[in-house]
Amino acid sequence: ISEPAIDALVDINPDSLNKNSKGQWVTVYITLPAGYDVNKIDASTIAITSLTGTSCQPDYYQSVDLSFIPQVGDRDEDGIPDLTVKFNLQELIANLCLDDVAITVEGKLFSGEHFKGIDHIRVVDPGK
């Protein structure tokens, strides 16, 4: 029986993705609830584990792009640190459906505890 996941706050940037984007990365900010420290996240375990939308394949897995060094900061300046990681945008776009998509991001702390969070993005294709 797996432990229940720590409920992380995941903020995917940008909030809407253009299917024709030539960008390299999509940025994900991860905030953990009080009592947990983002400095204790094992960045190599972070992955997108599900894409949910009307025409998406929910069984999806994409590891974090470790060519970008994960950074701890406080992007929203709320006094709670967040961890910034990046995913390969082109790999993600190839698997996104044109819709509002719920993207699940999961990972582990060095302690082995598991966290999970979901953010919604809008996918658009201006060429259609």
**pLDDT one-digit tens code per residue, 19-31:** 899 999 999 999 9
Nearest 10 degrees: Cα torsion 4, 8, 13, 18:
20
How is residue 128 written in tokens? Answer: 């259609």
**pLDDT one-digit tens code per residue, 26-64:** 999 999 999 999 999 999 999 999 999 877 777 899 999
Q: Tell me the whole-structure pTM to 2 decimals.
A: 0.92
The pLDDT of residue 88 is 96
Q: What is the end-to-end Cα distance of the chain in Å, rounded? A: 46
Which run of H or of E encompasses 90? helix 89-93
